Amino acid sequence: MKCYGVIGDPIGHSLSPVMHNSQFNTFGIDAIYLPFHVNNEGLRNAIDGMRGLKIRGMSVTIPHKESIIKHLDAIDEEASKIGAVNTIINENNKLIGTNTDGKGFINSVIDYGFSLNDKKVLIIGAGGASRAIIYRLSLSGVSSITVANRTTSRAEELLSEIGIDCKNTVISLNDVSEIIDEFDLVVNTTSVGMSPNISDIPFTFNKVKKGSHFIDIIYNPYETKFLNRASSLGATVQNGIGMFIHQGAIAFELWTGKEANIKLMEKVVVERLGEKNNANR
Ligand code: ATR
């Protein structure tokens, strides 16, 4: 039996095991995907263990996405540009890091049916998730990418480190409300509004562009206040489940060479999320 897993701290609430095991089961692959609770001090040993036990693939989540890099044999260009790894592939005991978050985001938007071609995009936030999304968006045919962040210097740094051209602009979070109706796609990549702080919103707004699409990478709650507001103003909305599933689907394909069953992944993840929410009530 082949072994795969996810390392993070905390890890108990990870939806990755149920998502990946559904694929091993449905494709009849003799493999298991396990959650591994690894803190910062244990990271080196965990990676040595991955080599020693010949674990075939590993997902990497908070807080290890950046600090894992120094323990790997190589990372690809995307992980290098983003400065973070979310997926490790064990190729004959050579550990290769990549990052499937940005591509997962793009695939989730395509899956939803929203065309990115020539669109004006606003990204809220300049952390790790924002970086992965912006890197891929810059390759996807959008007409412009604007980044709004509480700390504008962090957004400027992000763009220059990714090497994105000057068509891109940075604005303060305080100025977003005024111009939000200029954008076709608005994406919240901050953790503002995540459970338990469900009444928080990154900024208030009273207008949206006709035909615009809003995405929150949060999926707990299922609909954040940010999405709820956008929806009530007439925008179409999408939560972060799509990005989560699609980043996992790409990892699964890298590990097994098989195209993931996205619908099944979504079904088991949504079911598990519902169970967790009921248990917390
Ligand atoms: P991740 O790696 O998960 O994306 P991160 O690196 O901690 O997370 O980044 C968090 C993002 O959310 C940042 O853009 C942060 O803004 P700052 O760069 O100004 O810190 C943003 N963020 C977090 N809490 C916020 C809040 N209360 N209001 C506005 N922005 C917030």
* Cβ within 8 Å of residue 196, ≥6 positions away: none
Amino acid at 191: S
| Pairing relationship of beta strands 31-37 and 120-124 according to DSSP bridges | unpaired
pLDDT of residue 149: 96
pLDDT of residue 173: 94
Domain identity same for 200 and 188: yes
What residues does 121 pair with on adjacent strands? Answer: 145, 185
Helix ranges (H only) for 58-170 are 77-82, 101-112, 128-137, 152-162
Note the pLDDT of residue 168: 64
Q: Is 99 in the pocket of ligand 1 (CB under 6 A)?
A: no
Cβ atoms of 60 and 88 within 8 Å: the answer is yes
Q: Is the CB of 63 within 6 Å of ligand 1?
A: no
Which residue is closest in CA terms to ligand 1's atom 30? Answer: 150
- C-beta separation of 154 from 143 below 8 A: no
Residues 150, 273, single domain; the answer is no
* Domain carrying residue 93: 2-99+242-279
Query: Which strands form 144-149's sheet, in the order they lie side by side?
Result: 169-172, 144-149, 120-124, 185-188, 213-216, 236-238
Rounded Cα distance between 257 and 9, Å, is: 29
Residue 7 CA to residue 95 CA, distance in Å, equals 15
33-to-6, 57, 176, 179, 252 alpha-carbon distances in Å? 8, 9, 42, 45, 11
CATH number for the domain that contains residue 152: 3.40.50.720
Known catalytic membership, residue 65: yes
Tell me 280's DSSP state.
H
pLDDT at 167: 61
Can you give the pLDDT at residue 276?
Answer: 72
The residue annotated as part of the active site, out of 54, 65, 120, 167, is 65
Output the pLDDT for position 281: 56
My answer on whether 249 and 206 are in the same domain is no
Return the pLDDT at 250. Answer: 98
Query: What is the count of structural domains for the chain?
Result: 2
Give CA 241 to chain center in angstroms. Answer: 9
One domain for residues 76 and 109: no
* CATH number, residue 64: 3.40.50.10860
Which pLDDT value is given to residue 31?
Answer: 98
Residue 187 shares a structural domain with residue 247: no
Tallying the residues shown for the chain, one arrives at: 281
Of the candidates 230, 243, 27, 229, the one whose C-alpha atom is nearest the C-alpha of residue 129 is 243
Give the pLDDT confidence score for residue 94 in this predicted structure: 97
Residues 107 and 161 grouped into a single domain? yes
Q: What is the pLDDT of residue 48?
A: 97
The reply to whether 115 and 223 lie within a common domain is yes
Write down the pLDDT at residue 274.
86
Q: Is residue 232 located within the same domain as residue 112? A: yes
Pocket perturbation via mutation, ligand 1, pick of 191, 200, 218 by most ligand atoms within 8 A of CB: 191
Neighbours of 248 (CB within 10 A): 26
Task: Give me the pLDDT at residue 279, please.
Answer: 67
CA-to-CA separations, 8 to 11, 82, 116, 242, in angstroms, rounded: 5, 19, 32, 21
Local confidence pLDDT in tens for the 281 residues of the chain = 999 999 999 999 999 999 999 999 999 999 999 999 999 999 999 999 999 999 999 999 999 999 999 999 999 999 999 999 999 999 999 999 999 999 999 999 999 999 999 999 999 999 999 999 999 999 999 999 999 999 999 999 999 888 876 566 899 999 999 999 999 999 999 999 999 999 999 999 999 999 999 999 999 999 999 999 999 999 999 999 999 999 999 999 999 999 999 999 999 999 999 887 766 65
Q: Both 227 and 256 in a single domain?
A: no
Residues 201, 108 within the same domain: yes
**Residue 3, SS3 per DSSP:** strand
Q: Verify that 249 and 217 share a domain, yes or no.
A: no
Q: Please report the pLDDT score of residue 277 as a whole number.
A: 72
The ligand 1 atom nearest the CA atom of 155: 18
Q: CA torsion sign, 108 to 160 to 77 to 140?
A: positive
Residues 219 and 113 in one domain: yes
Ranges of beta strands (E only) in the chain are: 2-8, 31-37, 57-60, 74-75, 87-91, 94-98, 120-124, 144-149, 169-172, 185-188, 213-216, 236-238
Atom of ligand 1 nearest to the CA of 84: 2
